[in-house]
Structure 1
């Protein structure tokens, strides 16, 4: 019997396992596949994500990381470059590399990793409290379980926790291309993509770019066709053509804005995509998954140190509130933003106005995208902070 079972060895699961193991807990980390394995993602890591990687003790100086200096926004015939503030930096790294690195880091911290081990169902006691998980070969028991098993979250669904109908669901598709733009130090986002979406070009620094599109599922678009249509008019010298692709187009759902709640039921905490922890405005998920993993681990470590069952449970029930304090207001603003952008004319107007006024763009990125706050905040930073503060988390 472990202290904690973590289901899913993506960024959220491996980060939670690492933090828990470092706290001295007996942690079992289950991964349904074997490393290395593919994951649909933009592979872009913002300064927020970089900070979380540092708290995990990840060595960011080894080969495989590509450093970014900011973001480039394009649309409506305009281009705006925004550096990460105060010398902060971002990174790119393929998820095939990143996920395995984080899982091995958790093992180095003391967690036990079982690959090719699918959790098929939660184990419940007579009070319906989660006390472990079932796999095809055995039952594993633990004081607590962390569900980090992705957007479909078999564990959450088995407990009746399904995505909320009033939360946005996105779709993302990406493909790798050999391209001379592989060493571009800016994450490029193009808003000339309708309906209600954007395209991205992220240099990987290894001769390839991660190129993709993201849009709301309500658009009912074919992501392969949308990607082809967006890439067709781009400059030929960028080499973003099928002949330069290194693999197929892959797509995935993006559960956004805390789409699955509550994030704690007796014995089980949700984190990462299983809890819908993707920013509705930007589609960013890794940073929020890593931060939620740390918050979950802190909650569990504190709870298990309490002397009585009642005190432990009260601590665990505080986890959803902790998450909402961290990101609830930003996600609430993001849901309102995505609702407006379902209208292409609104999106075009917003793109035109924002890129023509850098201060407005900075304000939007701070309020909607958790853009890092500089040491000396400017007026847009202060206004965005005030807006976030008065927005109720939900």
Structure 2
């Protein structure tokens, strides 16, 4: 165990307790510590630890890392200039659009990314508690007075001023506080693996919109493959050595709702997909470190805040319904939450702020994702769409969360209009 992750050293109190040391939680701890607050960052795991999927960074995530002060982390990492979209016998290359954000993405294994942001928080003054789980709260009127932390040797309370809950998609502490996940809107299931490849220095992210299983059945999902480069150190070092190549992240994702659940065995689908792209991506070995995840999406949760607590990132279902991406949302909501720490009551303001930032896009995207859970819809939309590079550039902009409130072009206005119409007919709008 590293020296900055002690067990049994739970302080009596803290200004800010951040529960969960993924990108969102660690970024929140770093921002809060930089602002001069006493911060405790607690996670049930001891780092470095892995996280399913999530190695790819959109231009918006790249911008957030730079704003956090970790832009140098991407030095020597893959520079992904665009996406190679495939399906129905067609392939179209779409560069990341230029504008407010960098015109490139990147990739860092979550084993490294999460630990790097966590270490930044510690360097800025946050106290890290690794192997410590938040299990319950003690209320002081409408506010959380103390959070009960289990360090493996017993449960101890820590008095808190503010609590930022960033404990992931299942959000154990969020459930204690009343967080509910509503599966009637689209959610995702995904699996990820690593494979050795001679194309680990490619500057493109591959995406296959026509995903088929080993039996040829069309599935309501997509496949992806992108480079991680040569891994010389860390927990992934050596996975690419047998062939002398670098590593690719390869994975599959599927969409589902409570009415149309995803009854799919992801591992054989992923292995089949890896074989399908093996020649194109010069894959020289079988998938390893296969892991899967379940993803609430599009703000499909309620009770995301109280008097002195806020849920951020995956815990607040801030995940793109069209591609399962969540790192940029995690980093952004961390920053926004810390900006609110001086406020008196977050109960209504925080879900309102999240809805203001993401509600229109989430509503429209999850409605479209719901349509894509019907296999017959996939070719109806995908076959004509893949034939138009201009339309695919719009898709990339939407999927990459690259439309901002300041954008006034036709695509941005149309997407916001679709969101307004969708929100009006939502029986449960995002974060409600």
When normalised by structure 1's length, the TM-score is: 0.90
- Which blocks of at least 5 consecutive residues in structure 1 are unaligned? 304-311
Deviation (angstroms), 1:121: 1.6
Q: SS at 1:216's partner residue?
A: strand
Partner of 1:112: 127
The equivalent residue for 1:161 is 179
Aligned to 1:174: 192
CA contact (8 A) 1:333 1:368 kept: no
> Are residue 329 (structure 1) and residue 360 (structure 2) matched?
yes
Distance 1:385 1:331, change over 3 A: closer
SS in 2 for 1:219: coil
Report the CA distance between 1:165 and its aligned residue: 3.2
Does residue 129 of the first structure (1) align with residue 143 of the second (2)? yes
Looking at structure 1, the residues matched to 225 and 195 of structure 2 have their Cα atoms a distance apart, in angstroms, of 10
Question: What residue number does 1:287 align with?
Answer: 328
- Secondary structure of 1:182's partner? coil
Q: Is structure 2 residue 42 aligned with structure 1 residue 11?
A: no
Give the structure 2 partner of residue 209 of structure 1: 248
How many Å separate the matches in 2 of 1:123 and 1:78?
57
Partner secondary structure for residue 183 of structure 1: coil
Contact 1:179 1:244 in 2 (8 A): no
- How many angstroms does 1:174 deviate by? 0.5
Tell me how many residue pairs correspond in the alignment.
381
Q: Residues 124 and 343 (structure 1 numbering): CA distance in 2 closer, same or farther, change over 3 Å?
A: same
Counterpart Cα distance in 1 of 2:168 and 2:96: 29
Selected match of 2:161 from 136, 143, 150:
143
Query: CA RMSD, aligned part only?
Result: 2.3
Distance change (3 Å), C-alpha of 1:105 and 1:123: same
1:192 aligns with 210
> Are positions 1:90 and 2:90 aligned together?
no
What's the offset of the Cα at 1:55? Answer: 1.3
* Aligned 1:1-394 pairs, distance under 5 A: 1-60=13-72, 63=75, 65-86=77-98, 88-125=103-140, 127=141, 129-136=143-150, 137=154, 138-193=156-211, 194-206=218-230, 207-217=246-256, 218-236=261-279, 238-240=281-283, 243-245=285-287, 247-300=288-341, 302-303=342-343, 312-313=344-345, 317-367=348-398, 369-371=400-402, 379-388=410-419, 391-392=422-423, 394=430
Task: Output the TM-score relative to the length of structure 2.
Answer: 0.82
Change in 2 beyond 3 A, CA 1:18/1:60: same
- For the 8 Å contact 1:35–1:100, the answer to whether it is kept is yes
Answer whether contact 2:361 2:416 (CA < 8 A) is retained: no
Return closer, same or farther for 1:174/1:105 CA change in 2, 3 Å cut-off. Answer: same
Counterpart-to-counterpart distance in 1, 2:205 and 2:399: 17
Distance 1:216 1:384, change over 3 A: closer
Q: Secondary structure at the match of 1:37?
A: coil
User: Could you tell me how far 1:378 is from its partner in structure 2?
Assistant: 5.9
Unmatched runs of 5 consecutive residues or more in structure 2:
1-12, 212-217, 231-245, 424-428
The equivalent residue for 2:8 is none
The equivalent of 2:235 in structure 1 is none
For residue 308 of structure 1, what is the aligned residue in structure 2? none
User: Which piece of structure 1 moves more, 362-371 or 129-138?
Assistant: 362-371
Q: Give the helix-richer structure, 1 or 2.
A: 1
Q: Residue 221 of structure 1: SS of its match in structure 2?
A: coil
